[in-house]
C-alpha cells in the first residue's frame, strides 16, 4: 500500500487510506469491500486495490463480482484501479519494484 501511495502522489493524486483494521474480527476491511486507497485528482476519483502482481487476476474477479463496484464505476468521474506490485529485472541484474495498473471494467 505504501508503494501505491507514493506512486499515486507522484502522479499528482491526493490520496487517503480508507482500509481499516477491525479489532473485533481481527481482519482488515476495505471501503465497499474493494478499496484500500481513495485518490482524487481534479474531477477524477478512484478507489485503488493494492496487491501483489500474482494476485491481480483474483482481485479483478472479486471486484467484478461485487454489486457495490458496479455502482461505484457507473459514474464517468469515478474509476476502480488494481495496483499489482512485483519485482522485475533482467537475469543477474538488480530487481526493481514495478506497478502494473489495471482499470476495472464491466462487460
CATH code of the domain covering residue 95 = 3.40.1350
2: its cell numbers? 505504501
Tell me which residue range forms the domain holding 99. 2-103
Count other C-beta atoms under 10 Å from residue 59's C-beta.
19
Closest C-alpha among 39, 42, 52, 28 to residue 79: 39
Specify the DSSP class assigned to residue 30. -
* Number of folded domains that form the chain: 1
What distance lies between CA 40 and its chain's CA centroid?
A: 13
pTM above 0.85, yes or no: yes
- pLDDT tens for the chain, residues 1 to 107: 899 999 999 999 999 999 988 899 988 888 998 999 999 999 999 999 999 999 999 999 999 999 999 999 999 999 999 999 999 999 999 999 999 999 999 87
What ranges in 1-107 are assigned the alpha helix state H? 2-10, 56-64, 67-73
Amino acid at each position: 500500500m505504501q508503494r501505491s501511495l507514493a506512486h499515486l502522489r507522484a502522479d499528482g493524486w491526493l490520496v487517503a487510506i480508507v482500509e481499516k483494521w477491525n479489532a473485533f474480527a481481527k481482519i482488515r476491511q476495505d471501503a465497499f469491500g474493494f478499496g484500500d486507497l481513495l485518490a482524487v485528482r481534479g474531477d477524477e476519483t478512484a478507489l485503488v486495490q493494492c496487491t501483489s502482481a500474482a494476485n491481480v487476476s483474483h482481485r479483478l474477479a472479486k471486484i467484478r463480482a461485487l454489486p457495490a463496484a458496479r455502482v461505484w464505476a457507473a459514474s464517468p468521474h469515478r474509476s476502480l484501479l488494481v495496483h499489482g506490485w512485483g519485482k522485475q529485472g533482467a537475469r543477474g541484474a538488480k530487481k526493481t519494484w514495478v506497478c502494473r495498473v489495471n482499470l476495472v471494467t464491466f462487460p
